Amino acid sequence: MIELNFSNMMEEVIGVRGLSKRILEDFQGKVIDVHGQIRDRLWPELAFIDLPSQDTSEIKKIAQEVREESENFLILGIGGSALGPKALLEALSPFHNFTKSPKVFIYDNVDPRTLKHILSLIDLKKTSVNVISKSGSTAETAASFMILWDGMRELLKRRFSKRFIATTDPEKGNLRTIVGREGLKSLPIPRGVVGRYSVLSPVGLLLAEVIGIDSDELLIGAKDIQKRCSNSELWKNPIYLFGTLLYLMDKKEGRTINVMVAYADGLKPLSEWFCQLWAESLGKQEVGLTPYPSVGVTDQHSQLQLWIEGPQDKVVIFIRTNDYGVDIKIPNVFKDMEGLSYLSGHTLSELMKAEEEATEIALAKAGRPNITITVPKIDAYHMGQLFHFFELSTAFTGFLYEINPFNQPGVEEGKNLTYGMMGKKGFEKKRKEVEEYRKKRSRWRV
Amino acid sequence: MIELNFSNMMEEVIGVRGLSKRILEDFQGKVIDVHGQIRDRLWPELAFIDLPSQDTSEIKKIAQEVREESENFLILGIGGSALGPKALLEALSPFHNFTKSPKVFIYDNVDPRTLKHILSLIDLKKTSVNVISKSGSTAETAASFMILWDGMRELLKRRFSKRFIATTDPEKGNLRTIVGREGLKSLPIPRGVVGRYSVLSPVGLLLAEVIGIDSDELLIGAKDIQKRCSNSELWKNPIYLFGTLLYLMDKKEGRTINVMVAYADGLKPLSEWFCQLWAESLGKQEVGLTPYPSVGVTDQHSQLQLWIEGPQDKVVIFIRTNDYGVDIKIPNVFKDMEGLSYLSGHTLSELMKAEEEATEIALAKAGRPNITITVPKIDAYHMGQLFHFFELSTAFTGFLYEINPFNQPGVEEGKNLTYGMMGKKGFEKKRKEVEEYRKKRSRWRV
């Protein structure tokens, strides 16, 4: 089970900039109120809580077909449709494409250079394409889907549509219509489940199965953390503690940046996945916390200076693991050099863990609050725990802020302006707006 | 030449949260003062300014040998010794290892999983190792260097040391001593040049040459931007404008987060390189700006919601390019579906550029300040410009804050605690401190 240590958030340990036990105790009433909203499923988007109980047999069946038919598995998706699969791939099968089959490519942009490279590397005849979009009309995903659709049809002629798997709304949208019309394989993103809360739906689980991870392991992990966190008592509930501590550090201390530093290269995309979840869910109505993706020990040589001596605006969240699965011993060379020889006989994971702990302590000594989440091992079971832990924490924290943690109204205007420029019907006014704007911005440049 | 457009920083365009022309004019005196400090080289660390004039013949010679002898090129380095090479590799040779030789691996951590994978993929007999450390005793780099040293010696026996290239201080440090004693190839990081300002030294240039990039192109780009920016007149100097605008947005508007969103997958590591430079240089004495690494259009589906409706604490810096070098047309499929067909006939780069511009406008309309840097093309010449532009801007901005933009005193305590735990002589007290700390932090966990 993952563990939360919040000693370095408490004034008892880090001094005046910490939180008191009293403040947390006084907060229990609010926690019970929010707990009720979650328990009673007052929001339809809380449907993600039920994902751990889903039936995975259809996912397993399709994954099996992909593994038998294909040398390459290409995901088309963006935002919540790509970050979860990426987090799973890097954590559970690092360096995947160098050694395993099917190779996995995740195209989550419209950068033509990237797609050209992917297309030059894979044989489309031996490729399965998983197009992921809840709405079925995400512009970026639609663009790459249309290119792949045309390309595969040209190349494969008959039965080409069987090489597409659409992961989308169970009933609505363009992609669902195409599934019905063209006979694509498909998997549903259940009603109510919002993109950034969807990693434990077929969005993430199909990729998991394709790379040989038992998706049920992910779900059991999620189920276990949920059970562990089903009570409303703040002191016994790591999910509620996580949200409450970060909320209070904003409200009481003005700390609005939450750095997530994972001490494993393979967890960097997990940190980026968390950043979408936290940023899009909480950032609205001029409030919100800015999550910052980071990797240890690497970023000690990049960001730590700022965390420890910069503005008093951050809380650092450490993700550490007890077990890297493998290890390498540092040999006994350069014995006469004191600046190097102290490392001999230790292992890389010892150095990694020592540096993580040293950074916690250094921050604490400087009165800079931080939290540590310990993951016993980086495997499917514990990844399931982490995903569900952060999703539940995010919803909980959104309710503390009294905002809707499931929408993203702020991105609409950019979409409409893009429609205007791309000539979509009904957005002619937006195109005019762009032209007006171009005039205004021609002056201040150099 | 790269171009800076700062219309969306001005009140004339974005309204009351923008800056007035008057405020900038009033700042000219301060700019002249700082310009003098740079012109007169008042800090020895300004030595990085002279890097564009260096002789690259030794770098080219060693790179040629690597290309002839090796199938793999392994860089060992961390922070400034890795982020520059990474930025170059991804921008100028994306998907490098899938198609080109020698393959490049950059190990910038002590994660044992990552090193195990790298070692399982490469034949050490056909590998050149570039160990990069200014001081010559960076713990992480030392650890991996010792492992590779022992491994290559075991395997190659004679002349194994010739497969190591040390990029380090020209005279001092453990690594320099080893060069002298064991006959390694070596390249100097010139006196005064600090790690995070070193990408245009042999730190970045050797990798560039190894992957077939003419390092002189990088340097010509740097030289040209420097010439373009050598005057002290704020209105005509994009480097000073960049620093001044972000400084004033902090001082006048409390905007302390600078998001750098690059509209190209291959520029993500450039953004991460910038984040080290900006964070470590400016984050001290409780001031500083928090740089945030981001990629467009991808992060419009991850972070944009927070930028546009979250706290008023950010400035967004767009990096856009006019020319992706390649393009892909979106075909005319699904004609009867209005939600998709508007994309037909456009290209991916059109969509990419439209979304970038739409995001600028949407932010501006919401009164959220942003800056755009336009790069004509992603090539060595313009990468040289970008690197030098940001390095000069960072030093300039540090002087505006009246701090030392070249040191990083805040990271020492963590290093010392690590030494204590690893048993380095003279750090016994630190080990005790860790033990004391462990007792204190056993209480608050769940």
Give the residue numbers of A marked as catalytic. 280, 301, 415
Question: Considering only alpha carbons, which residue of chain B is nearest residue A235?
Answer: B446
Q: What angle do CA B46, B50, B55 make, to 5 degrees?
A: 145
* Contact indicator for B218, B54 with CB cutoff of 8 Å: no
Task: Tell whether A123 is within 8 A of chain B (Cβ).
Answer: no
Percent of chain B with pLDDT over 70: 100
Q: What is the pLDDT of residue B443?
A: 85
DSSP state of B76: E
Say whether pLDDT at B9 is over 90.
Answer: yes
Contact B142 A298 (CB under 8 A): no
Report pLDDT digits (tens) over B227-248.
Answer: 988 889 999 999 999 999 999 9
CB within 8 Å of chain B, chain A residues 269-328: 272, 275-276, 279-280, 282-288, 290, 292-293, 295-298, 300-314, 324-328
Q: Considering B90, B209, B272, B280, which one is annotated as catalytic?
A: B280
* B213: Cα within 13 Å, side-chain hemisphere: 28
**Both structure tokens of B355:** 């979304």
Question: Considering only alpha carbons, which residue of chain B is nearest residue A299?
Answer: B79
* Contact indicator for B318, B372 with CB cutoff of 8 Å: yes
* Contact indicator for A6, A362 with CB cutoff of 8 Å: no
Residues of chain B with C-beta less than 8 angstroms from the C-beta of A236: 446
Write down the domain spans for chain A. 3-39+220-400, 49-213
First-to-final CA distance of chain B? 56
Nearest to B155 by CA among B115, B130, B124, B129: B124
CB within 8 Å of chain B, chain A residues 352-371: 352, 354-355, 357-359, 361-362, 364-366
Nearest to A328 among B13, B112, B409 (CB): B112
* Residue corresponding to tokens 């080219």: B60
Nearest to B266 among A113, A279, A305 (CB): A113
Contacts of residue B389, defined as CB under 8 A and 6 or more positions apart, other chains included, come to B2, B225, B229, B238, B239, B242, B373
Nearest to B146 among A324, A331, A357 (CB): A331
Q: Which residues pair with A74 in a beta bridge?
A: A105, A129
CA distance A347 to chain B (A): 8
Burial of B40 (0-12, 13-18, 19+ CB in 10 A): exposed
- CATH code at B3-39+220-400: 3.40.50.10490
Nearest to A330 among B147, B282, B352 (CB): B147
Question: Considering only alpha carbons, which residue of chain A is nearest residue B410?
Answer: A305
Contact A265 B113 (CB under 8 A): yes
Match domain B49-213 to its CATH number in 3.30.360.10, 3.30.2350.10, 3.40.50.10490, 3.30.2040.10.
3.40.50.10490
CB within 8 Å of chain A, chain B residues 25-84: 78-80, 82-83
Q: At what angle do helices A202-210 and A215-228 cross, to 10 degrees?
A: 130
Report pLDDT digits (tens) over A35-86.
Answer: 999 999 999 999 999 999 999 999 999 999 999 999 999 999 999 999 999 9
- Give the distance from CA B425 to its chain's centroid: 34
Q: What is the pLDDT of residue A115?
A: 98
Nearest to B327 among A112, A140, A327 (CB): A112
Residues of chain B with C-beta less than 8 angstroms from the C-beta of A287: 310-311
* Contact indicator for B129, B148 with CB cutoff of 8 Å: yes
What is the distance between the alpha carbons of residues A329 and A334, in angstroms, rounded to a whole number?
A: 15
Contact A339 B137 (CB under 8 A): yes
CA distance B375 to chain A (A): 13
State the DSSP H helix or E strand holding residue B67, giving kind and residue range, or none if neither.
helix B57-69
Question: Considering only alpha carbons, which residue of chain B is nearest residue A332?
Answer: B146
CB within 8 Å of chain B, chain A residues 191-220: 195
Burial A20-36 (b: 16+ CB within 10 A, else e): eeeebeebeeebeebbe
Q: What is the pLDDT of residue A443?
A: 85
Task: Tell whether B436 is within 8 A of chain A (Cβ).
Answer: no
Q: What is the pLDDT of residue A303?
A: 97
Say whether pLDDT at B356 is over 90.
Answer: yes
At residue B306 the predicted structure's pLDDT band, cuts being 50, 70 and 90, is very high
Q: What separation in angstroms does the CA of A16 have from each of A6, A274, A305, A354?
A: 15, 29, 21, 27
Question: Which residues in chain A come in under a pLDDT of 50?
Answer: none
Q: What is the pLDDT of residue A229?
A: 84
Residues of chain A with C-beta less than 8 angstroms from the C-beta of B168: none
Q: What is the pLDDT of residue A61?
A: 98
Q: What is the pLDDT of residue A285?
A: 96
Contact A136 B339 (CB under 8 A): yes
Domain B3-39+220-400 identical in fold to domain B49-213: yes
* Residue corresponding to tokens 């489309």: A124
Q: Any idea how long chain B is?
A: 446
What is the pTM (predicted TM-score) of this model?
0.97
CB within 8 Å of chain B, chain A residues 239-268: 241, 256-257, 263-266
Task: Tell whether A440 is within 8 A of chain B (Cβ).
Answer: yes
Q: What is the DSSP string of B319-359?
A: EEES--S---BPP---TT-HHHHTTTT-BHHHHHHHHHHHH
Average pLDDT, chain B: 97
Contact B120 A99 (CB under 8 A): yes
